[in-house]
Chains A and B, each alone.
Chain A
Amino acid sequence: AQKVTQAQTEISVVEKEDVTLDCVYETRDTTYYLFWYKQPPSGELVFLIRRNSFDEQNEISGRYSWNFQKSTSSFNFTITASQVVDSAVYFCALTTDNAGNMLTFGGGTRLMVKP
Chain B
Amino acid sequence: DADVTQTPRNRITKTGKRIMLECSQTKGHDRMYWYRQDPGLGLRLIYYSFDVKDINKGEISDGYSVSRQAQAKFSLSLESAIPNQTALYFCATSDTGLALEQFFGPGTRLTVL
Measured CB to CB, the residues of A under 8 A from B are: 4, 6, 9, 33, 35, 37, 43-45, 47, 50, 52, 91, 93, 95, 97, 100-103, 105-108
Contact = CB atoms under 8 A, between A and B. Distances in A.
B44 A105 contact: yes
Interface of B: 31, 33, 40-45, 48, 50, 58, 88, 90, 92, 94, 97-107
A106 B44 CA distance: 9
Contacts of A4: 42
The SS class assigned to the A binding surface is loop
Contact of B48 (A9, A35, A102): A102
A44 B103 CA distance: 10
Contact of A101 (B41, B42, B90, B102): B102
A90 B46 CA distance: 21
A90 to B, nearest CB: 11
Given A52-B99, A101-B31, A102-B48, A91 B42 contact: yes
Contacts of B92: 45
Contacts of B42: 4, 6, 91, 93, 105-108
Nearest to A94: B99
Nearest to A105: B42
